[in-house]
Chain A
Amino acid sequence: MSDSKTTHCLPNLPPPDFVDPVIEAYKKDIDRTLIRENLKLTVAQRFEKYKHFRRFARELREAGQKARMRK
């Protein structure tokens, strides 16, 4: 699903699909299954998913801190 109706980009900069070997090196390890799942969602759903993920990350961080304090 595509949300953006615009396909144009800034004329004074290299195009968005400009091939940079450094970026390509990172790109090969990107998990595209995550991207495909996110592209099925609306923008609002993507932010909602992010909110849940952020809460999960915070709980893990706090659990780690508590575990360290107990040692």
Chain B
Amino acid sequence: MESKFEEILPVLISHGVEFILIGGGAAIAHGSARLTHDVDVVYARNTENLRRLIAALKPFQPYLRGAPAGLPFQWDERTLQGGLNFTLTTSLGDLDLLAEVAGGGSYEKLLPFSDEFEAFGTRCRIVNLETLIQLKRAAGRPKDSEAIGELQAILEERRLQEGET
């Protein structure tokens, strides 16, 4: 199922969820031309934020992606407290909620390496391009090689443009 950034992210933002967009969505924000199928965010683990996440996503039937139907999966504080990273399917599309990312750590650790951008009629926090490249490489997935190449090309083009101005 494809994910609708323009629907998922405003839902999180309107509920005051503290998160940073990473992955393919962040790549699009930085200029990538590649298609992505899910939304990846790193979220803050404080209790208040978990409650906001639960309230934000509850109407959209979050469920463990790829899990058999009918599991006793409850979208509540206890479930979120008991886990870290959740790969979810929702009625708005697939959403990966990550408490920690390889090489980047937690929301708090990643926060200084992110910026706020105007998007979806609001402000959205997105990991910066340099750090996104580092995270992609730290994930160590061979399938990311082409994406890393494109992100490095974007960085080079951006630096060229900045050098010209």
Contacts and interface: CB of A to CB of B under 8 A. Distances in A.
Given A6-B115, A46-B28, A39 B35 contact: no
B2 interface: yes
Interface string B88-126: 000000000000000110000000111101111000101
Interface string B123-139: 01010111101110110
Given A32-B157, A35-B31, A47 B5 contact: yes
Among B30, B32, B103, B118, chain A packs the most CB atoms within 10 A around the CB of B30
B161 A2 contact: yes
B81 interface: no
28 contacts: A1-B161, A3-B115, A6-B115, A6-B128, A6-B130, A8-B113, A9-B113, A15-B130, A16-B131, A16-B133, A20-B148, A23-B149, A26-B146, A27-B152, A32-B157, A35-B33, A35-B157, A38-B154, A42-B118, A43-B119, A43-B126, A44-B118, A47-B29, A50-B28, A51-B5, A54-B2, A54-B35, A58-B2
Among B112, B129, B135, B138, chain A packs the most CB atoms within 10 A around the CB of B129
A67 interface: no
Interface of B: 2, 5-6, 28-33, 35, 103-104, 112-115, 117-120, 124, 126, 128-131, 133-135, 137-138, 145-146, 148-158, 161-162
B153 A35 contact: yes
Interface string A38-71: 1101111011001101100110000000000000
Interface of A: 1-10, 12-18, 20, 22-24, 26-27, 30-32, 34-36, 38-39, 41-44, 46-47, 50-51, 53-54, 57-58
Nearest to A19: B152
Contact of B152 (A9, A10, A16): A16
A38 B33 contact: yes
A30 B33 CA distance: 10
A10 B157 CA distance: 21
